[in-house]
Structure 1
Amino acid sequence: MRTLLARAHSAADAGDWQGAVDAYSAILRRNPGRADLRIQLGHAFKEMHCIADAEDAYRRAAEDAPDDPDAPFHLGLLQMSRGAPDAALAALESALSRDPLHEGAFDALWNSRLLPDLPPSLLARIRQALRADVADREAALARQNRRKQAAERHGLSDYASFRPAMTIPAPTPPAGTGPVLIQVDGISAAPSFVRMTLESLLASTHSDWQVIVHVDDKGMEHPVASLATVDPRITFISAHDQGRAPLQSAAISAYLTAGTWLDPEALGWIIHTFSTTEAQAATCDWDWCSHAWDKDLSHAAPEVHGVFDMDRLAASPVPPPLIALRNASRDGPLACEDRRRILLSLGVGARIAHIPLPLAAIGSIAERAKIAPKNGEDMPIWSQPRDGAEPGSGNLADAPLCVTYRPGRPPLTQGAFATGRDPIRVIIPTRDCAVQLNLAIDTLVQSASQPELLSFTIIDNRSAEPQTQVLLGQLASRTGFAVLHCDTPFNWAALNDLAAGQSGEPILVLANNDIEMLSEGWDDRLRIQLQRQDVGIVGARLLYPDRSIQHAGMIFGFNEGAPIHDGVGTGLSNAATDPRFDHCHACSSVTGAFLAIRKDLYVQAGGLDPVRFIVAYNDVDLCLAVRALGRTVLYDPGIELIHHESLTRGVNDNRKKVAWDQEELRALYHKWGEAIRDEPGISPWWARDAVYQAFRPLEKAQIIDYIARSADRPWTPRPGITAAGAPLRPKHGLS
């Protein structure tokens, strides 16, 4: 049998059609049900111009395999070649009935203009199948694109090879900009560090600059100071002679420490920023660089950030190596901590642009020098301490912040005002879960610094368990407790909005019934943070029972684009390596599982939206509304809780729940448009499907847009980004 089949195929391949007919016929006499071989027999007859025999072979094959579209397809082509369109239409119709996606049959009918003659019911099946096929192909293409992007992106370990792609030419500066005045703090710096900075300046693509290098007496005597005689743009000034400066004033001044390497495009981007925005100051991304005499600079440990964040800056272990100021009156250098303090002293509301490019690198001495003997002369390996310097507790210059320190954890920022005694109203919707509700209340009260200023509204939404009714009765009899019974279908926004409308306290806390407070004095910390002029909402760090992170603020535009919790699943042991989860910082949104806001701002923002966001995204919507009023949503890990997550209403673990969630997400998009994918707090360099793990390439236009955004109320939802025709806030009243 195998020999005969091989003979048939060989004959067909060689064009020996009679031999093929004989071999296929012999096989079919033994196995008459082989429709595939009968089609081959039909092909051979057709090549021999035995049309009637070919037609018979195709018909019998179609009968033997009633689901296979190939036999009627070939029969249709044969009829078409014979000039029998009606017979061809019937055969091709049969092929498409068997497989509505059969490309050959469809194309044959399309080319012969017979497609409209198909029965309407079959055309409807074909359209439906094609729509589904296109959707599948688009999904497959999207998966291919994601794989392509993943293959092209660069992880942290590939940063050195990716770094050249981050040197993006700056836009051409406008005429009449004037020189950039660069103040270099070289006092007590090693001459090699001074040289490194000056060499990077000399390689700048923007040549209109003046640099003043501030050094000590030894620096004035070192050969490196001779560079001032080589290039008139370079001036060395002794620390004892700060009054002699070639420029009395400059529209743009940049400040850095000797040993900071500047990207060739750094000055161009600084000029662009001040020329196109109203920024008072500018910062940039940066990294660390080292070198050997026969190798180029090697860059590592990138510090890529989102828009300027005062809290992050105040608590960061390493101050920015490069800052730029507009019309600065300061003539002297700025040491590391001075740069931090200058930015913080600009205060809330200052326009501080962030250039999302690594324009500066903290340099090290050459590799060979690191192992050289000291012999009485020592110098640090890095031009700026890698571990940074503590910014100091208490007020930071004129900034409305102070820094507090925690053993083994990053420092925390908070408002620099008195704590105060504002009463707080905690609102907790519940349905049964009496044990968990009681634990939530007990831990909130026991951990409070001023429990006498706490009041609770417990919203009973159809609790049925006897132990819950007993607990609610006990709570209703306690001072400072109110129990509202709401016999309605669950609507988280409506329940909270009802309680908020009946509350007279100046501070509201929306909380779930499945939390456990871990932080002592959480209430005073809320009061301090909510007294800040810039802060509108405060959220907390939420942990799973195993102490991994459940919520460290929310981020927009990553993974599939829907708002997601930052840091999910990160263990607390990674706090040292992932301090972004353990610093106070502005964020796009926080979860309503624990959310604090002043009552007057809650009312001004329109409260929660019980029409469009019944179950989910109501917290995101409120945060967006508060940001639209010019306030910041602050993530504060100084308040920590365990969150058992969705004990009452469950999680989205089936098609029905996911479908509901998607409808509310659609409502959020209709209301806020692309604002729900706009994430100013995270560097645009991070890959959207691998935040903090891999880099993606950016275009110059994206950099320009980001700079403009960062200098102008970066946390406010962007004008024009809201979906057309959708009001920003609903006009509903508080019940």
Structure 2
Amino acid sequence: MAGGGWIVLTYREPPTTRPRRPMLRLVRAEGVEDVVLPGVTQAYAHWLGLLPDDLCEIHLAAEPGFVLERVGRRSTASLFLQALATKPLRGISALYEGLRGDERRYRDTLRGTCAVTPRARYSDWAAERAAPLPEPRGGMDRRNAAAATDPLSRTGEGTRDPMAIRVLVLADADSKSLAATLGSLRAQSHPGWRAVVLHEAPHQATLDDPRIAHAPWRDDRSLRDLVGDASLCLLRAGDRLVSEALGLLATEIGQADLIYADELRDGAPRLKPDWSPDLARVTGYQGRPWLAAPALLARLPDGPVGPRETFPLALDLMLGQAAAGVAHLPRVLAETVGADPDAVARADLLIQHRTAVAEPLIRDRVVDLLWPLPDPAPRISIVIPSRDRLDLIERVCRGVLHETAYPAIECVIVDNGSTDPAVLAHYDALRRDPRVTIVAYDAPFNFSAMVNAGVAAATGSVVVLLNNDVAVLRPDWLDAMVRQALRPKVGAVGAKLLYADGTLQHAGVVVGLGGRAGHILRKRPGDTAGHLGRLRVAHEVLAVTAACLAVSRENYLAVGGFDAEAFPVDFNDVDFCLRLEATGRKTMWTPAATLAHLESVSRGPSVGVKRVRFEQEAARFAERWRDAIRHDPYYHPGLSLTTFGEDLE
């Protein structure tokens, strides 16, 4: 495309459990720039972007089946008019960034204003990306009807086919809700389903569709009696599947033995991450719809299903624990009803179905898991890079040495050439504490090299990297991080960090956010729950900040520590987490460790030479981790990478 300016791309891709956001490579006279586009989670996706004036070539990286439907132009004037009409302050901010020559901020601010939609307006956003769908099949497919006199004692013709699906519907006294669910089943494009409606009490069923059986709930019946050899889908009366739902789930079930999709719950979108087992255990975020393969069902205990009230939650837990592979289809395939189970019910069932050594507990009205600590508690080495700033080093050391409840602490301060006499005198006082070691790093500032030097001097079995501008708020913060860091298959562990005004500074890093990596929900209220309530519990993320990062010494050394050559100042923590992830060691974030962070006050802002260095490290990061930038598995591909508020784009 000749020339620069604002364009709108409209494109589509087939649904898949292996999404990767499309990426444009813009070859400019002054270099190369990669731009990540919104993922396709509806019939179509749109991208509003600014092409530079010195554009020479465009290259596209996309998944098989990608189709570019339309390329349109938008004038700058029309975008500013839209911005001033809808979000005037942001429109003015974009104008200011443009006038002062910051192309990236100008572009992102204007795009964030004109192309990003709050989740509360999901229905408008989805309608703009919808397409006419094929007419659903009405009525009954007689060729596939199973005219059985006892539908629970046989699975019907063809149910050993891997595409055969048994749908269990939990019904209540509301006949309209049940009719809506059964209507959506009759409209399915996939022909191989059979349904069993399970009523609270004996029910006089109409025999208008031999694919649908009715039966009273019985606590003593086994799941195998209900499902036979088919795949299983569980619905509640009132749930409505889109007409392609079962077909799409059945097509993708070969990728895993449990697959779940997105939903509208009482009208609000639930846009889910890829499989996040810790989050699933304590929140049940996977919800409905889902499809479980026969091989998975065969691994479940063959006992009675138990009480109807606890069956869905108990089944959820058992499936998640027994699944060999779990996949997520990022499309809204159902409208569902009903509230999530309360914390007490979930905690009770977690105890009954416990396979891990973690103890369920209720914190702030939600369930979380308390992982064990060895007895005696292992030594923890807290590594603090620092330079001058007596106020900072005094406060962080006071918090670590005197305000932290953990019993076995070693504090390693890595000093980068402090000259302030007051700081040097404070170091002399600290040396009288046998828990304190001070390491001199006499070289130009290199954060990665400094933490590597600190870890080399440390003797603890777990290392905690802690910025000097962090303040301890609660005495149990370190206990919470160590419990996570000592778990098998856990690499890095991050904390909840707050700005001085109490707003969020760090609630996990989303790779791709802002084009490279960014802190989700930054500057939101400190008690923000986040989409799906994720910020209320410990859960998997792709990366965390090294401002407060715990990792076992063994895992730190296994990946060679921080990369001091490629990332001396920025992106080193994200790169470290991604290298851990590549070896099968996942990253966790926990709100049970909450601290305050002034964010790089001792380093100062990235301007001038610092900005050039930042852009160089950003380019290296993008080149090394392009695939992760295109798909952070814990961040839904329909959510914006332009803004930080879990918005739609």
Fold agreement, TM-score > 0.5: yes
What does the per-residue CA deviation read over 1:257-292, in whole Å, with 9 as the maximum and x for residues that have no partner?
Answer: 2222222111012101213x1x12122211134xxx
Alignment of 1:67-106 (within 5 A): none
What does the per-residue CA deviation read over 1:96-124, in whole Å, with 9 as the maximum and x for residues that have no partner?
Answer: xxxxx9xxxxxxxxxxxxxxxxxxxxxxx
Q: Give the length in aligned residue pairs.
A: 521
The secondary structure found in structure 1 opposite 2:612 is helix
The secondary structure found in structure 1 opposite 2:556 is helix
Distance 2:132 2:643 in 1: 23
What does the per-residue CA deviation read over 1:181-202, in whole Å, with 9 as the maximum and x for residues that have no partner?
Answer: 112223x553333222211111
Alignment of 1:385-396 (within 5 A): 390-392=345-347, 395=351
What does the per-residue CA deviation read over 1:421-470, in whole Å, with 9 as the maximum and x for residues that have no partner?
Answer: 1110011111011221121122123343333x100111111100011001
Q: Is the 8 A contact 2:168 2:198 kept in 1?
A: yes
1:434 to 2:419 alignment: no
Deviation of residue 487 (structure 1)? 1.7
1:52 alignment counterpart: none
What does the per-residue CA deviation read over 1:645-697, in whole Å, with 9 as the maximum and x for residues that have no partner?
Answer: 11221121x2322111001111222333343443211111123324555434x
1:662 to 2:615 alignment: yes
What does the per-residue CA deviation read over 1:483-541, in whole Å, with 9 as the maximum and x for residues that have no partner?
Answer: 11222111111111112123232100111111111132222222221232232110001
**Higher radius of gyration, 1 or 2:** 1
Q: CA separation of 1:624/1:249 partners in 2, compared to 1, >3 Å: closer, same or farther?
A: same
1:280 alignment counterpart: 257
1:335 alignment counterpart: 311
1:596 alignment counterpart: 550
Q: CA separation of 1:567/1:666 partners in 2, compared to 1, >3 Å: closer, same or farther?
A: same
1:470 alignment counterpart: 425
Query: Which residues of structure 1 form unaligned runs of 5+?
Result: 1-100, 102-126, 290-299, 364-382, 697-735
1:345 to 2:313 alignment: no
State the AA in 2 paired with 1:136.
Answer: D
Distance 2:645 2:188 in 1: 30
Q: Which residue, 194, 210, 222 being the options, matches 1:232?
A: 210
Instruction: Write 1 or 2 for the structure with the bigger share of helix.
Output: 1
Deviation of residue 571 (structure 1)? 1.4
Q: Which residue, 142, 165, 168 being the options, matches 1:183?
A: 168
State the AA in 1 paired with 2:569.
Answer: V
Distance 1:485 1:638 in 2: 33
Distance 1:360 1:633 in 2: 31
1:485 alignment counterpart: 440
Deviation of residue 640 (structure 1)? 0.8
State the AA in 2 paired with 1:207.
Answer: P
1:406 alignment counterpart: 363
Distance 1:524 1:388 in 2: 23
Sequence identity (%): 24
The secondary structure found in structure 1 opposite 2:346 is coil
Distance 2:281 2:602 in 1: 39
Distance 1:416 1:207 in 2: 49
Q: CA separation of 1:496/1:694 partners in 2, compared to 1, >3 Å: closer, same or farther?
A: closer
Considering Cα pairs closer than 8 Å and 6+ residues apart, tell me whether 1 or 2 has the greater RCO: 2
Q: CA separation of 1:527/1:169 partners in 2, compared to 1, >3 Å: closer, same or farther?
A: farther
1:565 alignment counterpart: 519
Distance 1:524 1:684 in 2: 34
State the AA in 2 paired with 1:422.
Answer: P
Q: Which residue, 199, 207, 213 being the options, matches 1:215?
A: 199
Distance 2:629 2:111 in 1: 25
Structure 1 window deviating more from structure 2 (242-251 vs 136-145): it is 136-145
Alignment of 1:307-318 (within 5 A): 307-316=274-283
Q: Is the 8 A contact 1:429 1:460 kept in 2?
A: yes
1:354 to 2:328 alignment: yes
Structure 1 window deviating more from structure 2 (469-478 vs 251-260): it is 251-260
Q: Is the 8 A contact 1:425 1:457 kept in 2?
A: yes
Q: CA separation of 1:449/1:466 partners in 2, compared to 1, >3 Å: closer, same or farther?
A: same
Q: CA separation of 1:693/1:450 partners in 2, compared to 1, >3 Å: closer, same or farther?
A: closer
State the AA in 1 paired with 2:316.
Answer: R
The secondary structure found in structure 2 opposite 1:513 is coil
The secondary structure found in structure 1 opposite 2:382 is strand
Distance 1:442 1:627 in 2: 33
1:268 to 2:247 alignment: yes
Given the two structures, how large is their TM-score scaled by the length of structure 2?
0.73
Q: Is the 8 A contact 1:547 1:572 kept in 2?
A: yes
Q: Is the 8 A contact 2:500 2:596 kept in 1?
A: yes
Deviation of residue 338 (structure 1)? 2.0
1:443 to 2:403 alignment: no
Distance 2:603 2:189 in 1: 60
Given the two structures, how large is their TM-score scaled by the length of structure 1?
0.65
2:290 alignment counterpart: 323
Query: Which residues of structure 2 form unaligned runs of 5+?
Result: 4-27, 33-50, 57-72, 80-106, 135-159
1:71 alignment counterpart: none
The secondary structure found in structure 2 opposite 1:572 is coil
Deviation of residue 558 (structure 1)? 2.7
1:421 alignment counterpart: 377
The secondary structure found in structure 1 opposite 2:544 is coil
2:53 alignment counterpart: 136
Structure 1 window deviating more from structure 2 (177-186 vs 609-618): it is 177-186
State the AA in 1 paired with 2:378.
Answer: D
